């Protein structure tokens, strides 16, 4: 049986408003004819606006993300034609901060009272960020699975060129896949009590060993980088960078052919570490029409996590990738 005002204090206006605010629910009322909004204190805080007597739709629109503004304007105009409840999610800009808001109410004039439509604003920023994180993780997982399948196919082809028998091919392929498994172990952060993760040169050599017939220091892959230790967090990120570059090379570049050569060199200063990934004697390559997921991933982790930059030279002799990294970030 529903409670009435007389038999339960929750339904008193003051208590109800406090309960709504405790749940993060901001109240609004839209005067359809004048286009004016009435909002409670929480709504003003949510929109980052000073409390005033009148707020117009244009005042609110100025805070809506430009990419969402027209969509929100159209959606609000259409709410009177909607049957039942509606929900509109959009972004607003508060300086450099992006905040997600969900506006909810009743359409088809069900929520219209004395020329006003009422509803609530909810801050759904946390939920939207979690959804974006899940989408990013799913995209990266899909990308990694496709890369691993391509690597397995590439290593099978690479091994078949030099194997003299099925047994030898099976042995060499197993060895390469085992080495690849050890390389993937280096992608995971080490426990805190194990100190620095690895030397930079050792990390690169282990990651590239499965792609070389004779080992990273004596075959067609040459590694000559500064002798320096890198931190646990940086080792994970550097491993991802090297793994991505090697995958691309195995698919399209120097590592995809028997005569292909790969050289990784580097320099270091107090502030910056530079690596140059040079491929030679491989198939002709050209810049892609659109930046793929792998390229976007590389750029994001190098700039965001290593404080550096990435530049690709699509030369006729073979691709050259210049990677710069913050020396301080590498040590962490």
Q: What angle do CA 205, 144, 263 make, to 5 degrees?
A: 30
First to last CA, the chain: 61
Residue 149 has a pLDDT of 65
Residue 190 has a pLDDT of 47
Strands 229-230 and 198-199: antiparallel
Which pTM value belongs to this model? 0.47
Q: What backbone phi and psi angles, to 5 degrees, belong to 187?
A: -75, -20
Token pair of 126, please? 């946390």
The CA distance from 48 to 98, in Å, is: 12
Residue 2 has a pLDDT of 42
Domain boundaries, the chain: 9-123, 181-330
Per-residue pLDDT of the chain (332 residues; tens, 9 = 90+): 343 445 545 445 566 666 666 667 788 777 767 777 778 888 888 888 888 767 877 778 888 888 888 888 777 776 666 656 778 888 888 887 888 888 887 766 555 556 577 778 888 888 877 777 677 666 666 666 666 666 666 667 666 765 677 787 777 667 666 655 665 565 454 444 444 567 888 888 888 877 776 444 457 889 999 988 888 777 777 877 887 788 788 888 888 888 889 999 999 998 999 999 999 988 888 887 776 656 776 787 788 888 999 999 988 888 999 999 999 888 87
The CA distance from 262 to 207, in Å, is: 13
Q: Which helix (H) or strand (E) holds 171?
A: helix 166-185
The CA distance from 111 to 115, in Å, is: 10
Residue 267 has a pLDDT of 93
User: CA-CA distances (angstroms) from residue 248 to 118, 235, 293, 297?
Assistant: 55, 20, 12, 13
Token pair of 163, please? 């194997």
User: CA-CA distances (angstroms) from residue 149 to 146, 167, 288?
Assistant: 5, 22, 21
Residue closest to 25 by CA, chosen among 14, 33, 17: 17
Q: What is the full DSSP assignment across 102-161?
A: EEEEETTTTTEETTEEEEEEEE-HHHHHHHHHHHHHHHHHHHHHHHHHHHHHHHHHHHHH
The CA distance from 23 to 14, in Å, is: 14
Q: What backbone phi and psi angles, to 5 degrees, belong to 91?
A: -100, 145
b/e sequence 183-221, b meaning 16+ C-beta within 10 Å? beebbeebeeeeeebbbbbbbbbbbbbbbbeeebeeebb
Just give the CATH number of 181-330: 3.30.565.10
Give me the architecture of the 9-123 domain, per CATH.
2-Layer Sandwich (3.30)
Residue 176 has a pLDDT of 62
Residue 7 has a pLDDT of 52
Residue whose pair of structure tokens reads 């990390």 in the numeric block: 203
């Amino acid at each position: 049986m529903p409670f009435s005002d007389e038999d339960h204090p929750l339904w008193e206006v003051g208590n109800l408003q406090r309960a709504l605010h405790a749940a993060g629910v901001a109240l609004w009322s839209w005067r359809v004819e004048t286009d004016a909004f009435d909002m409670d204190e929480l709504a003003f805080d949510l929109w980052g606006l000073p409390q005033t007597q009148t707020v117009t739709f244009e005042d609110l629109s100025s805070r809506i993300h430009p990419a969402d503004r027209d969509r929100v304007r159209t959606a609000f105009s259409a709410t009177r034609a909607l049957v039942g409840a509606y929900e509109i999610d959009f972004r607003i800009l508060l300086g450099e901060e992006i905040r997600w808001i969900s506006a909810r109410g009743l359409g088809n004039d069900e929520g219209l009272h004395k020329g006003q439509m009422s509803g609530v604003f909810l801050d759904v920023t946390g939920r939207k960020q979690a959804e974006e994180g899940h989408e990013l993780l799913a995209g990266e997982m899909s990308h990694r699975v496709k890369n691993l399948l391509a690597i397995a196919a590439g290593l099978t082809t690479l091994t078949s060129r030099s194997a003299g028998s099925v047994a030898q091919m099976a042995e060499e392929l197993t060895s390469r896949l085992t080495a690849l498994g050890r390389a993937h172990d280096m992608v995971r952060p080490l426990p805190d009590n194990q100190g620095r993760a690895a030397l930079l040169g050792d990390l690169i050599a282990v990651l590239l060993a499965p792609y070389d017939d004779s080992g990273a220091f004596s075959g067609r892959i040459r590694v000559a980088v500064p002798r320096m230790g890198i931190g646990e967090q940086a080792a994970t990120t550097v491993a991802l960078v090297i793994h991505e570059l090697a995958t691309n090379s195995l698919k399209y570049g120097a590592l995809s052919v028997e005569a292909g050569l790969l050289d990784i060199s580097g320099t270091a200063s107090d502030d910056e570490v530079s690596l140059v990934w040079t491929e030679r004697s491989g198939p002709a390559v050209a810049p892609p029409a659109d930046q793929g997921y792998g390229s976007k991933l590389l750029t994001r982790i190098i700039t965001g996590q290593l404080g550096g930059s990435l530049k690709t030279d699509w030369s006729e002799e073979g691709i050259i990738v210049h990677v710069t990294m913050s020396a301080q970030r590498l040590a962490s």
